[in-house]
Structure 1
Amino acid sequence: MNRFVRAFLQLFAAPRLNMLEDYPKVRQFQRTLAARPASTFRYLDREVVSADGDHPIAVRLFEPRERTRDEVLLFFHGGGWVTGDIESYTPACATMADLTGCLVASVDYRLAPEHPFPAGLEDCERVTRLFLDEPARLGASDADRIVLVGDSAGGNLAAVVSLRLHAAGHRGVRRQILLYPVTQCDHDPRTSPFPSVRNLGDDYRLTNTEVQDYVELYVPDGVERSDPDVAPLLAPDLAGQPETLVITAELDLLRDEGEAYGEALAAAGVDARVHRVDGALHGFISLPRFSRSLREAYEVINAFLDEPVTTRPSTVEAAE
């Protein structure tokens, strides 16, 4: 990346925002940026009642212009568990539907700091369990056709939902796609074990300060941040997880931890593979359709979806 592009990107570096205070402004900016004429996208809004029955969880279904696959992509959006929603991610999900030929279901989980950990995670798990038990609600022919997908914090939520389903003995999805996921809790360049955190956290789309602010808002209790439900890379046992595709961005501080998670899954006997998109920044899944990074990612995603699934659904025997 030349010095002029680098200087331009520094203008948008997150330290210029105090995420601990400015997250409402970021939410509004994202919605404004994503606004499009209603006729541009084909979608249907539904609601799922939370596990405790005290609030609805909105789910937006996106139909591709041409449906070429039976898979349903159950999508958890990014935004550091604090920003993002089904409105701001509508363009990205419509693109996902069209470029994969799949129905996409976007989950509007609760956000921190109004609803800190584990509220958003519980919403995502509730929706996943319901659709695995009743796949017809999503328009899926069977539960084997449901694929978990998440970007950034949403990739974290997808990975953790799979871990929790397996631990609970509930059938899981057979495949998951994690886009530049958050997999560990330490993003301080002084203490992180990952070079990308130390070298890429100042000048690009996502910064160390922003990630640390997001984690603080999502998990106020510092002790809980090392829980595998927050940092799946710290899970003691990754066996039994679904076939996994991890896609990372070369210029993203989360790059190394995402790749480390894919490697840890493979070491645990999981069919997992990692693809790094060269020259890409964090959040590229929301770029326009002509973006090279976006196109490359979807080529890899479509190849993954085209492969036959060999792993059985993730379950464990209930303890007697």
Structure 2
Amino acid sequence: MGSGMVLSETVFAARDDELRRLNAEIAAFQASRPSPWSFPVDVVRAARRQGLGVFPGLAPDAQAITLDLPAAGGHAIPIRILRPADGRALGTYLHFHGGGWMFGEAVENDPRLRRLADATGLCVASVDYRLAPEHPFPAGPDDCEAVALALAEGRLPDLPTAFLAIGGESAGAHLSVVTLLRLRDRHGAMPFQAANLVAGCYDLSLTPSVRNFGAERLILNTDDVGEFVRRFVPQTFDLRDPDVSPLHARLDGLPPALFGVGTRDLLLDDTLFMSARWLAAGNRAELRVQPDGCHVYEAFASEAGTRSERAMADFLIRRRAEVAASRPATVGAPAAD
């Protein structure tokens, strides 16, 4: 193993009673509700926006702004911008939201992204990429690629590029890795210096933990992931195509990454497998596994969720410091902070 490869595993030994209670509440709530697949997509989206589903309702940040990036297909890609409250602008974190490539929107994440921006001094740019089934693969990844290129090339106004990080939750973590691979393979570029990957789905042919999870809907169940994939990926695509399922891609040349997942997340194997492959490809990886954590447990108030958010901020702060320290000093220029 080369000296540049680091794997740091942080696993809390004791089970988490608070998360176990939360899991019971979530499972009971979802068991009392009709299947989301019994409603039209727009009805589920509206209910999610109103906080009628399992996730909290919207709490928009008063300081957030939205800019639109014109895309090659003639549509506009909305990007929600949150700047650190103290006026710092030390870099930019490009964020992709979760929701199974079908649901979710950037504004859902305002409270967590506000805390991340203020803790790290990074501007946050969260992308409202096109959603399936109206816009199946590769529409969403194409939008994410377009925004990543525009950011790296300085075409997004007032977003600093001295340090760039990328990340997201669930489908957003998948899109983050797909975007990194596209930048490397299609553009010969790797402008992002850190990846924050939370409970991603990296093999759309379904890993063992997804296949074996069963019918209990703890945020998601086995059938839910299959339904998402069927609506997101047209049948003409091989589910093991690396552009669809990045777990099957060549992974060398990617930035240091923080992987996070809970043991009660049906996507547990996706994170364990991807973090191991990331490391084996010669990249740096850190892995946090939270006992009793459900899928994206950070979306719910808990001590474990707070610890996870702090670990994400710490990772990004450390990476920015490493990048700043690695740059040659300019004669007469002030030292990097």
Shorter-normalised TM-score: what interval? 0.7 to 0.9
1:35 corresponds, among 55, 58, 68, to: 58
SS class of match (1:87):
helix
Q: Which amino acid is the alignment partner of residue 299 of structure 1?
A: R
CA distance in 1, matches of 2:230, 2:41: 13
Secondary structure of 1:123's aligned partner: helix
* Amino acid of the structure 2 residue aligned with 1:161: T
Unaligned runs of 5+ in 2: 1-15, 52-56, 327-337
Q: What's the TM-score once normalised by structure 1's chain length?
A: 0.84
What do residues 227-255 of structure 1 show as CA deviations (whole Å, max 9, x unaligned)? Answer: 111210011x1111111111112210001
Q: CA deviation at 1:200?
A: 6.7
1:23 Cα deviation from its structure 2 partner:
2.8
Residue range with higher mean Cα deviation, 128-137 or 249-258 = 128-137
Gaps of 5+ in 1: 313-320
Partner of 1:263: 276
**Residue 277 (structure 2) pairs with residue 277 (structure 1):** no
How many percent of aligned residue pairs carry the same amino acid? 29
CA distance in 2, matches of 1:276, 1:67: 33
Say which of 155, 160, 166 aligns to 1:148. Answer: 166
User: Are residues 1:233 and 2:247 paired?
Assistant: yes
Within-5 A mapping of 1:297-308: 297-307=308-318, 308=322
Which amino acid letter does the alignment assign opposite residue 204 of structure 2?
C
**What RMSD in Å do the two structures reach over aligned CA positions?**
2.7
Q: How many angstroms apart in 2 are the aligned matches of 1:244 and 1:16? A: 37
Q: How many residues align?
A: 299
Q: In the alignment, which of 154, 162, 170 is matched to residue 180 of structure 2?
A: 162
Taking the aligned partners of 1:207 and 1:62, their CA distance within structure 2 comes to: 33
- 1:282 deviates by 1.0
Structure 1 residues 67, 152: closer, same or farther in 2, change over 3 A? farther
Counterparts of 2:282 and 2:189 in 1: how far apart (Å)? 18
Listed one character per residue, the Cα deviations across residues 143-190 of structure 1 (whole Å, up to 9, x for unaligned) are xx1100111001000000001111123322121111101100133xxx
1:242 aligns with 2:255: yes
SS in 2 for 1:106: strand
Given that residues 200 and 251 in structure 1 are in contact (C-alpha distance below 8 angstroms), is that contact kept between their aligned partners in structure 2?
Answer: no
**Residue type of the alignment partner of 1:163:** L
Measured after TM superposition, the shift of residue 115 of structure 1 is 0.3
Provide the rounded CA distance (Å) in 2 between the counterparts of 1:287 and 1:206: 15
Give the SS at the match of 2:205.
coil
Matches within 5 A, 1:114-193: 114-134=134-154, 137-142=157-162, 145-172=163-190, 173-187=192-206, 192=207
Structure 1 contact 67–103 (Cα < 8 Å) conserved: no
Could you say if the C-alpha distance between residues 157 and 241 of structure 1 is closer, same or farther in structure 2, counting changes exceeding 3 Å?
same
Q: Which residue of 2 aligns with 1:45?
A: 66
Take 2:290 and 2:214, find their aligned partners in 1: how far apart are those partners? 15
| CA shift in 2, pair 1:76/1:20, >3 Å | farther
Structure 1 window deviating more from structure 2 (99-108 vs 54-63): it is 99-108
Q: Contact conserved, 1:135 with 1:141, CA < 8 A, in 2?
A: no
CA, structure 1 residues 7+281, in 2 after alignment: closer, same or farther (shift >3 Å)? closer
The AA in structure 2 aligned to 1:35 is L
Give the equivalent residue in structure 1 for 2:334: none
Corresponding position: 1:109 with 2:129: yes
C-alpha distance in structure 1 between counterparts of 2:300 and 2:87, whole Å: 22
Larger radius of gyration: 2
Structure 1 residues 128 and 5, CA gap change in structure 2 (3 angstroms): closer
Q: Bigger CA drift: 19-28 or 296-305? A: 19-28
For 1:315, the equivalent position in structure 2 comes to none
Q: Structure 2 residue aligned with 1:208, among 204, 208, 222?
A: 222
What is the match of residue 11 of structure 1? 28
Distance in 2 separating the partners of 1:305 and 1:123: 24
> Contact 2:36–2:44 (CA<8 Å) still a contact in 1?
no
CA distance in structure 2 between the aligned counterparts of 1:43 and 1:165, rounded to whole angstroms: 27
- Whose relative contact order is higher, 1 or 2, with alpha carbons under 8 Å and at least 6 apart? 2
SS at match of 2:257: strand
